[in-house]
Amino acid sequence: MKLQVYKLKWFILLLVTAFQFSCDSDFLDETTNPNSFSPSSFWQNDDDAFKALTSVYANLQPDGNWGTIFTRYIIIPSYRSDECVRRDDVSSWIKLASFTNDATNSTAKHFWNTNYSGIYRANQLFEGIELIPDMNAELKKAYIAEAKFLRAFYYFTLLKNFGGKIPLITTPIQGADDYYPAQSDYNTIMTFVETELKACLGILPSTYDDAMEGRVTDGAVSALLGKVYLYQKKYNDAATEFAKLIAVSPSVYDLTSDYNANFDGDNRGNKEVVFEAMFGGDQSGGRKEYNYITLHLSSFDGDGYEEAYPSEWLYQLMKNDTLSDGSFSDRIFNTIEFPGGLAFSNNGSTKPYEEVHGADATKIYWKKFVNWSEGQTANMYRSGFNVPIIRFADVLLMYAEALNEASGPSNDVFDAIDRVRSRVDIVPIDRSMNKEQLREHIRHVERPCELALEGNRYYDLNRWGITKDALTQHGKRNAASFVVGKHELLAIPRSELTLNSDWEQNPQYGK
């Protein structure tokens, strides 16, 4: 500290001296702020490129504010589905879940901005990395591939929620005209996402060391590309990409023996992880490496906000998903709090349901993502677990779906499904099912039971074209308000339409 102060005194002295003897020079004609970065001053070496890449990843955990991460990973993808029941609390959340939202919805607007912020940062990297002199060629290639994947992921996320009438921006903003981009269309955006991901194949490693946990792998590229193919009904192509991950199992990818290991925060980076948002729990130096998901989902008895609940349909479905002796599996115990099951208590521990909620209680709550253990964070209000975006279990089920749609039932289809079921000791699947029966089973048993609340269900219903029917049949509150051809998508935010008067709104929404 003394050395720093000493140097500072000499710096001030030299500065004053320079000012006194240079009043007639160009000392005051400085045209750039020496305290801020410019493209030419920032992009100097490999480390600067990595800093820029880190900023692109950062949009997976947009900020540590109260509801932002809960919004991104629970509200937007799950509140509209048949697996989730809302508690009437925040008005913008209620409107999304009740299909009464419009172009002024603040939650949808923030979601739009967050994804485009990630795209903007990726675009900056693509341009700036070219300014670095003598950058390591292999690093450069890898960083570009990672940023391409992330940009494709952000666009795919926007496409699923807002449709194709979104701007396709692939370069940094340079001038006034760039602030008024044209709208694109569904096929153009989807083709762009597919092309970007294909360009990343074979470039990235299959694994990283612990210090680099959470970065995009070659398996993540194939998994997301396979999902993009699945959305386009390119079933053979999808199966080919998913098969790449299965081929390196169990050495690289595998199912955890403990289902809850994917959500408890104590088993980060396990072999089931394909792609996830990282929340390490670090709060040092003002960092917000945590989320509030446990706080939002935990029951009032567990000292949480209980913002949402599992649907009765999901509860009854999972109760029928049993072991050979008729008992419940670990999957339901770690997905739902129910009488006779387990519950999260207000000291962060898991106890029998009746100890937490009372002997006569019957209400059900979410158990998935409701976890905390000492050492993750200072308390249960700030969670340090990662949020899975793609798990190997999802890959196996998508592989089974793609094969069944392409050519009907086969041993490969049944084996993939049974691999997921056997992890929690559920009875093997009935192998006498035909293509149509198996399709219904995958849609309404396997995927909702395994992947509940993980951000897949609503988009699955949309890509299958059965959203209204499923919401109605499964007793979704306000299902009658769902309008086919409208509520599959969110309204484009009014603020964007105000800035771009020639833009069109999504079908049946007002500007």
Residue given tokens 């989902």 in the structure block: 297
Average pLDDT of the residues in 100-105: 98
Q: What is the pLDDT of residue 175?
A: 82
State pLDDT tens for residues 272-285.
999 999 998 888 88
The residue count of the chain comes to 511
Cβ atoms of residues 250 and 423 within 8 Å: no
Residue 11 has pLDDT above 90, yes or no: no
Whether 124 shows a pLDDT value over 60: the answer reads: yes
pLDDT: which is higher, 377 or 155:
155
> Which letter does DSSP use for residue 442 in this model?
I
Count CB-CB contacts under 10 A for residue 437: 12
**pLDDT at residue 32 in the model:** 57
pLDDT band at residue 48 under the 50/70/90 scheme: very high
* Of the listed ranges 40-49, 385-394, 455-464, 494-503, the one predicted with least confidence: 40-49
**21 CB neighbour count, 10 Å cutoff:** 10
pLDDT tier for residue 375 given thresholds of 50, 70 and 90: confident
- Asked whether residue 17 carries a pLDDT value surpassing 50, the answer given is no
Residue 1's pLDDT band, with cuts at 50, 70 and 90, is very low
Region 66-85: mean pLDDT is: 95
Arithmetic mean of pLDDT, 212-219:
95
| Two structure tokens written together for 225 | 């590309």
**Is residue 235 pLDDT above 60, yes or no?**
yes
Neighbours of 442 (CB within 10 A): 22
- Residue 33: pLDDT band (50, 70, 90) is low
Of 8-17, 292-301, 412-421, give the lowest mean pLDDT range: 8-17
Of 315, 344, 349, 347, the closest CA to residue 332 belongs to 315
Whether the Cβ atoms of residue 507 and residue 486 lie closer than 8 Å to each other: yes
For residue 422, give Cα distances in angstroms to 243, 259, 267, 277, 325.
19, 11, 20, 27, 14
**Residue range 64-70: mean pLDDT, rounded:** 84
- Which parts of 248-385 fold into alpha helices (H)? 293-297, 312-319, 330-333, 353-357
pLDDT number for residue 36:
59
Confidence band of 31 (pLDDT split at 50, 70, 90): low
Per DSSP, the residues of 293-305 read HHHHHS-TTTTS-
Token pair for 246: 């299965």
What is the spatial distance between Cα 498 and Cα 511, in angstroms, rounded to a whole number? 8
Q: Please report the domains of the chain, with CATH numbers, ordered by start residue.
A: 46-278+389-449+489-499 (1.25.40.390), 293-366 (no CATH)
pLDDT value at residue 373: 80
Q: Above pLDDT 90, what percent of the chain?
A: 81
pLDDT at 66: 80
Q: What is the pLDDT of residue 374?
A: 79
pLDDT band at 38 (very low <50, low <70, confident <90, very high): low
What pLDDT digit, counting tens, does each position of 156-182 carry?
999 999 999 999 999 998 888 888 999
Mean pLDDT confidence for 94-120: 97
What is the mean predicted confidence (pLDDT) over 453-479? Answer: 98
Query: Cα-flanking dihedrals φ and ψ of residue 167, to 5°?
Result: -75, 140
CA 183 from centroid of its chain's CA atoms: 24
Cα dihedral sign for 81, 84, 90, 94?
A: positive
Position 7 scores a pLDDT of 30
Read off the pLDDT band of 63 (50, 70, 90): confident
Amino acid 503 reads: W
Average pLDDT, the chain: 91
Residue 384 has pLDDT above 60, yes or no: yes
Can you tell me the distance from the alpha carbon of 492 to that of 511, in angstroms, rounded to the nearest whole number? 8
Q: State the average pLDDT over residues 411-427.
A: 97
Residue 208 in tokens: 């990283």
Say if residues 168 and 125 touch (Cβ distance below 8 Å).
no
In degrees rounded to 5, what are phi and psi of residue 401?
-65, -45
CA–CA distance, 289 with 377 (Å, rounded to integer): 10
Instruction: Give 14's pLDDT tier (boundaries 50, 70, 90).
Output: very low
Q: Does the pLDDT of residue 413 top 50, yes or no?
A: yes
Task: Decide if pLDDT at 439 tops 60.
Answer: yes
Per-residue pLDDT at 312 exceeds 70: yes
Q: Cα 85 to chain center, whole Å?
A: 20
